[in-house]
Structure 1
Amino acid sequence: MNPLLDKLQPYPFEKLTKLLGEVLANPKLAPIKLSIGEPKHPAPEFVTKILIDNINKVETYPTTKGIPELRESIANWATQRFDLAQSPLNPDTQVLPVNGTREAIFSFTQACVDDTANGLVVSPNPFYQIYEGATYLSGVDLKLLPCLEEHGFQPDFDAVDEETWQRCQILFLCSPGNPTGAVVDLETLEQLIHLSDKYDFVLASDECYSEIYTDETNAPIGLLEACVKLGRVDYKNCIVFHSLSKRSNL
């Protein structure tokens, strides 16, 4: 067995299930489960209709890259949502549909990390547990940056020492963050892009909650949007994860 498995912790929702196992809920109230990020509303009807109309396609294995129409749709949505017209995504080389961001983050980490280079993955704390599991199973160390109220529930990146940046191979971001909803602002994103250039690490921005906000005139900014505002045309060292389960109940 892989000895690195000993570093892994039980999934938090398993712990929560045990804690709530003996709790009897008030039968007069409908519970709101703030646990696993599973959709709690019906999927859009037009999507289920399309699935039904194309049910025969389950007879064939899908390609790893997904169908071109899907990648193009994703690229078009990202261009519209994050104002990427000056540097539109290439559906063939910069978009990859996945079965879930958890699986994608894990696989990405294994591919990106070099365990022979005294590497380090840096993550906000609290964090999505897959950041930790993927890091440990890749064979490198994890550095947690606390998200404290005095810093707007975001890491204090100015307090990160030189050695950490030198060892860093991946810096995970989660914006809007879970559980606080804190958003990494444009100035901070631009600072981190410059740091990734200087120290050659990858910025991995988990933006699964990007479409959950209250002010329709002020949507949360994304990492790729910050790149465009800096005049970057190649999105070097930047990867972003999105989720249909959070924004579309799929």
Structure 2
Amino acid sequence: MHFEPYPFEKLNDLLKDIIPNKNYTPSVLTIGEPQFETPDFIQKTLCDNTALLKKYPKTTGETELREAMRGFMQRRFHISLTDAEIIPTFGTREVLFNFPQFLLFEKENPVMAYTNPFYQIYEGAAIATRSKVIHLNLDAQNNFKPQINEDELKSCNLVIINFPNNPTTASLSLDELGTWVKLALKYDFILLNDECYSEIYTDKPVPSLLEAAKHVGNEDFKNTLVINSISKRSSAPGLRSGFIAGDAKILKEYMKYRTYVGCASPLPLQATAAAAWSDEAHVAASRKIYQENFHVAQEILGVEIPEATFYLWLHVGDALAFTKKLYKEYNVKVLPGEYLARKNSEGKNPGIGYVRIALVESVEKTKEALTRIKECLGE
């Protein structure tokens, strides 16, 4: 198997010979990792449960964790899930890589579609399953929302969408998500929405694909799945707590597969994650900081505030040249958009011309970094 280097490896290669301006404090705005302390109650819960290390964890997840995750879905999306409709996972990266391998194993010529730009694990899963890939290209012309080509979708076995979207920051409405649910039923493909940024909304809560399934009458979530994670929500990526939820028929067989994968979360992490999934106050506090960061970005760079995520998808012209100049002269690192995308059928990479900026620092640090970016843009 041949996998593309990760975007951050490409960035390191791009900048390897550049000596940054030492007159500025380094500012790294490349990775979607919250730079805030994990809330104290989460850290304390972990410390209080270290004795559980003496026990093997269940692949199915402990009852306490499953109930906390179901409680989150009920509070946030008004979705009542049965125990058969949700599986705790070791974050969501492993799911995105191994679920397609489970699902497509018996397909002779599997076809995957996913949004482009994308989280690179989608591509890795396509490579591992020998799938033909259909890119759902996101660009300014379509407002960064995937255009529907039913002739292509009818050939798909698995479609992965990602809304709220990384990196473009676009969101889909309940009705727009509902359209995708209907297509999954019409053409009998499995539809998975990567919802890891659902809790980083800037004004109104954004919908879940499972809400949309209910909205269009798909009460048992047939062919419909979502994943979500605690990493962004709770500033706790090290907890590696996520879940996959939806179609119970699919999840029943996937659960059998997972017993062989061996990726059960350690019990102290499960107990800690249960506490984090059960609390909303700390999430609201983080969300307020991200909202302030976006207001700062609007003031300094004149950008629109997106509905969700903590990114800016900023058009800068020659993104590679801009990234090098910004690092050399202002000691700020951003990620070229073309590293997050691939060429479409017309030979155009929809990420060209953009940089992704992660607003994951304090308001003060964000203001300083964005001011440098503005100065670099003005030169």
Q: TM-score, normalised by structure 2?
A: 0.59
Alpha-carbon deviation of 1:233? 1.9
Q: Which residue of 2 aligns with 1:207?
A: 195
The root-mean-square deviation of aligned C-alpha atoms, in Å, is: 1.6
Q: Deviations over 1:8-40 (max 9, x none)?
A: 211111111222333344445444433333331
Within 1, Cα distance between the matches of 2:107 and 2:209?
29
SS of the aligned residue for 1:204 comes to strand
Q: Which has the higher contact order (CA 8 A, sep 6+)?
A: 2
- Alignment correspondent of 1:232: 218
User: 1:55 and 1:27 mapped to 2: Cα distance?
Assistant: 43
Matches within 5 A, 1:1-250: 5-6=1-2, 8-27=3-22, 29-84=24-79, 88-90=80-82, 92-114=83-105, 116-157=107-148, 160-162=149-151, 164-215=152-203, 218-250=204-236
Percent identity of paired positions between Structure 1 and Structure 2: 40
For the residues of structure 2 that align with 1:247 and 1:29, how far apart are their CA atoms? 30
Q: Which moved more, 1:201-210 or 1:34-43?
A: 34-43
Number of residue pairs matched by the alignment: 236
Q: 1:123 to 1:55 in 2, by over 3 A?
A: same
Distance 2:76 2:15 in 1: 39
Which segments of structure 1 move beyond 3 Å, counting only runs of 4 or more? 22-32, 114-117
SS in 2 for 1:97: strand
SS of 1:93's equivalent in the other structure is: helix
Contact 1:115–1:140 (8 Å) recurs in 2:
no
Q: 1:59 to 1:25 in 2, by over 3 A?
A: farther
Give the whole-Å Cα distance in 2 for the aligned partners of 1:241 and 1:48: 24
Find the aligned partners of 2:142 and 2:32 in 1 and give their Cα distance.
Answer: 26
**Contact persistence 1:115–1:138 (CA under 8 A):** no
- Note the alpha carbon deviations across 1:168-219, whole angstroms, 9 max, x for none: 011111111111210012222111111111111111100111111211xx11
State the TM-score, normalized to the length of structure 1.
0.88
Code of the residue aligned with 1:135 in structure 2: it is: A
Question: What CA distance in whole angstroms lies between the structure 2 residues aligned with 1:32 and 1:243?
Answer: 26
Structure-2 change in CA distance of 1:192 and 1:119 (3 Å): same
How far apart, CA to CA, are the structure 1 residues paired with 2:78 and 2:212? Answer: 10
Q: Distance in 1 between matches of 2:190 and 2:228?
A: 17
